[in-house]
């Protein structure tokens, strides 16, 4: 496509181009595959066409949700998975499912449900990007949505308290991080020397967890002990986003 | 769950656990109860009752059996274990969710199959109330994970993608990690066999799986090896099928 496409997403901070996982996934994929995207940070969620961020706006289509955006980019011949074998493609799907089931609940919890983190970091950051009076309402809504998702994903009967679920989700997340670290080993990216869709997803999930400064940091500390995953994030940031690693 | 009450997704999960236990050579007796969901500690079937302990769902059951000294995945290295867990999540994420969607969010299936089956052990109006309650619960979950907006075609496409990934991973090997079966094989068998042999309003779901001949051969192989020899237990697999053998 000759005309540049525009990507609406949440802005950056702490040395990251964006602090929002899904936005980051799309941005990373675009850099890996060489797609020309113009980034525009949203000020308020409802100005984006479907109200969901990130959103890709091109000449002939408006697409929301990372998976669909990535599909669209692939159809436009911006394919980062070109050199993968069929089995590696299958592995990609499997690992993405693993991330969504095991890691996502704990990340949602760290950002949106953990009271100290939410009040001192997440809410002020998002509120500063949203105009008054929406800023009084929208972060709370996102937080409730995250909590809902955690409780329903875990399938716990409504009688269970959040505390029981918390212990379980953090255990699962730490296990997931260990698995990712084992899988990455010493290679630069998950499938050799060029980054692919899986790298974009892992980066999108891990980078905010790695870089954002939280008061309550148990999962972050666990991540920091897995040096190859930290190195992986830093490599992508310095290699593809040209931001200094020491920022933030 | 009773014979006529059991639904596709629960049947799949239950078969997966049975397959796993057979693979570990542990004897298992299948018992159906209409209130099984309430008896289970996590609200989900299947669960196993051993001595005075109750453990539900495949993941915890695998852990429990491992603690007792039986494990199928000890021979795998770290990278393979990571892969195995990832593929198990893929099956749960895509196949199980698709089964739930088909059962509870597709109106035709809900009317004709799900409601009558789910409420069958109870008298009216309890059967309708419980069925609606469960339906509401499942639809809430679908909404939270973003599947509520999907159409049936999209769900079937997702199933196809998942089967393609499984088929590519399996390749020409007898099991996913070559010579010996693991819990991943049990899980995949449970879901695919159930999809292939359960009668629904349309055959679209099983057609998707049938496109991949190595997956069909895989199911047949496991069925022959682990289920056909056993008279009492094999009746549980053929109870819900169109026929005991796959076409």
Rg (C-alpha) for chain A, rounded Å, is 18
Task: Report the b/e string of A61-90 with b at 16+ CB within 10 A.
Answer: eebbbbeebbebbbeeebbbbeebeeebbb
Q: Is residue B241 part of a domain?
A: no
Of B86, B140, B171, the CB nearest to A97: B86
Q: Is residue B247 part of a domain?
A: no
- Range among A166-175, B30-39, B42-51 with highest mean pLDDT value: A166-175
Look at A90 and B141 and tell me if their CB atoms are within 8 Å. Answer: no
pLDDT of residue B196: 86
pLDDT for B149 beyond 80: no
Would you call B230 an interface residue with chain A, using a CB distance cutoff of 8 Å?
Answer: no
Residue in A205, A98, A112, A201 with CA at minimum distance from that of residue A162: A112
Of A179-188, B4-13, B84-93, where does mean pLDDT reach its minimum? B4-13
pLDDT of residue B4: 67
Of B78, B89, B140, the CB nearest to A97: B89
Share of chain A above pLDDT 90, in %: 0
pLDDT of residue A82: 77
Give the domains, in start order, of chain A with CATH numbers: 5-76 (3.40.30), 86-241 (1.20.1050.10)
pLDDT of residue A43: 62
Q: Is residue B239 part of a domain?
A: no
Q: What is the pLDDT of residues A118-135, one digit of tens each?
A: 888 888 888 777 777 777
pLDDT of residue B237: 41
The residues facing A47 across adjacent strands are: none
Look at A182 and B79 and tell me if their CB atoms are within 8 Å. Answer: yes
pLDDT for B82 beyond 50: yes
Provide the shortest C-alpha distance from residue A52 to chain B (in Å).
Answer: 12
The confidence band for B1, taking pLDDT boundaries of 50, 70 and 90, is: very low
Whether residue A196 contacts residue A190, with contact meaning beta carbons closer than 8 Å, is answered with yes
What's the domain count of chain B? 1
Task: Tell me the CB-side half-sphere exposure of residue B65, using CA atoms within 13 A.
Answer: 28
Q: What is the mean pLDDT of residues A157-179?
A: 76
Look at A97 and B145 and tell me if their CB atoms are within 8 Å. Answer: no
pLDDT of residue A161: 66
Chain B residues touching A98 at Cβ < 8 A: 85-86, 89-90
More confident residue, B155 or A60: B155
Look at A90 and B164 and tell me if their CB atoms are within 8 Å. Answer: yes
Look at A101 and B92 and tell me if their CB atoms are within 8 Å. Answer: yes
Residue in B102, B113, B57 with CA at minimum distance from that of residue B240: B113
- Per the structure, the complete domain to which residue B23 belongs is given by 8-227
Q: Is residue B64 part of a domain?
A: yes
Q: Is residue B22 part of a domain?
A: yes
The confidence band for B43, taking pLDDT boundaries of 50, 70 and 90, is: low
What is the Cα–Cα distance from B172 to A135, expressed in whole angstroms?
Answer: 56
pLDDT for A155 beyond 80: no
Of A90, A100, A155, the CB nearest to B165: A90
* Nearest residue in chain B measured CA to CA from A52: B146
Q: Is residue B106 part of a domain?
A: yes
Would you call A158 an interface residue with chain B, using a CB distance cutoff of 8 Å?
Answer: no
pLDDT for B231 beyond 70: no
pLDDT of residue A126: 80
Would you call B151 an interface residue with chain A, using a CB distance cutoff of 8 Å?
Answer: no
pLDDT of residue B243: 32
Provide the shortest C-alpha distance from residue B65 to chain A (in Å).
Answer: 19
Q: What is the pLDDT of residues B114-138, one digit of tens each?
A: 888 887 778 888 888 888 888 888 8
Q: Is residue B233 part of a domain?
A: no
Q: What is the pLDDT of residues B190-226, one digit of tens each?
A: 888 888 888 777 788 888 888 888 888 888 888 888 8
pLDDT of residue A5: 79
Of A93, A145, A183, the CB nearest to B82: A183
Would you call B2 an interface residue with chain A, using a CB distance cutoff of 8 Å?
Answer: no
Q: What is the pLDDT of residues A44-92, one digit of tens each?
A: 555 544 456 777 777 777 777 777 888 888 888 888 777 788 888 888 8
The mean pLDDT value of chain A amounts to: 79
* Residue partners of A130: CB distance under 8 A and separation at least 6: A43, A44, A45, A138, A139
Query: What CATH number does residue B39 fall under?
Result: 1.20.1050
Look at B145 and A149 and tell me if their CB atoms are within 8 Å. Answer: yes
Q: What is the pLDDT of residues A4-60, one digit of tens each?
A: 778 877 777 777 888 888 888 888 888 888 888 888 777 655 554 445 677 777 777
């Amino acid at each position: 496509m000759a005309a540049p496409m525009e990507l609406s997403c949440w802005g950056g901070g702490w040395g990251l181009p964006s602090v929002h996982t899904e936005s980051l996934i799309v941005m990373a994929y675009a850099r890996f595959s060489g797609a020309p995207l113009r980034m525009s940070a949203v000020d308020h969620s409802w100005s984006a066409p479907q109200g969901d961020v990130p959103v890709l706006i091109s000449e002939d289509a408006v697409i929301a949700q990372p998976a669909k955006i990535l599909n669209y980019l692939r159809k436009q011949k911006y394919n980062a998975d070109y050199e993968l074998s069929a089995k590696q493609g299958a592995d990609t799907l499997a690992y993405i499912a693993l991330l969504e089931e095991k890691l996502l609940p704990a990340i949602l919890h760290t950002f949106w449900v953990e009271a100290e983190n939410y009040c001192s970091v997440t809410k002020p950051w998002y509120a500063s990007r949203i105009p008054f009076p929406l800023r009084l309402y929208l972060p709370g809504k996102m937080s409730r949505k995250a909590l809902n998702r955690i409780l329903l994903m875990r399938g716990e009967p409504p009688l269970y308290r959040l505390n029981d679920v918390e212990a379980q989700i953090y255990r699962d997340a730490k296990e997931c991080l260990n698995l990712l670290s084992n899988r990455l080993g010493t290679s630069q990216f998950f499938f050799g020397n060029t980054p692919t869709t899986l790298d974009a997803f892992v980066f999108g999930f891990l980078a905010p967890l790695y870089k954002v400064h939280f008061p309550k940091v148990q999962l972050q500390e666990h991540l920091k002990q897995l040096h190859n995953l930290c190195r992986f994030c830093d490599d992508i940031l310095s290699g593809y986003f040209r931001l200094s690693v020491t920022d933030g | 769950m009773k014979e006529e009450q059991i639904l596709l997704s629960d049947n799949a999960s239950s078969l997966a656990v049975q397959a796993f236990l057979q693979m570990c050579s542990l004897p298992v007796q299948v018992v159906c109860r209409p209130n099984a969901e309430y008896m289970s500690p996590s609200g989900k079937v299947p669960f196993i009752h051993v001595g005075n302990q109750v453990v539900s769902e495949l993941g915890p059951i695998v852990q429990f059996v491992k603690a007792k000294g039986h494990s199928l995945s000890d021979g795998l290295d770290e990278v393979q274990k990571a892969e195995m867990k990832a593929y198990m999540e893929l099956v749960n994420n895509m196949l199980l969710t698709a089964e739930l969607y088909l059962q509870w969010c597709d109106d035709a299936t809900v009317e004709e199959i799900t409601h009558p089956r789910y409420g069958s052990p109870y008298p009216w109006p309890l059967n309708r109330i419980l069925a609606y309650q469960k339906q509401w619960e499942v639809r809430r979950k679908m909404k939270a994970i973003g599947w509520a907006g999907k159409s049936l075609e999209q769900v079937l496409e997702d199933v196809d993608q998942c089967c393609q990934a499984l088929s590519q991973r399996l390749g020409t090997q007898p099991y996913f990690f070559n010579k010996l079966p693991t819990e991943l094989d049990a899980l995949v068998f449970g879901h695919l066999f159930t999809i292939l042999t359960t009668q629904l309003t349309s055959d679209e779901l099983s057609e998707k799986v049938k496109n991949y001949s190595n997956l069909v051969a895989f199911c047949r192989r496991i069925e022959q090896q682990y289920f056909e020899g056993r008279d009492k237990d094999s009746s549980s697999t053929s109870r819900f099928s169109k026929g005991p053998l796959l076409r």
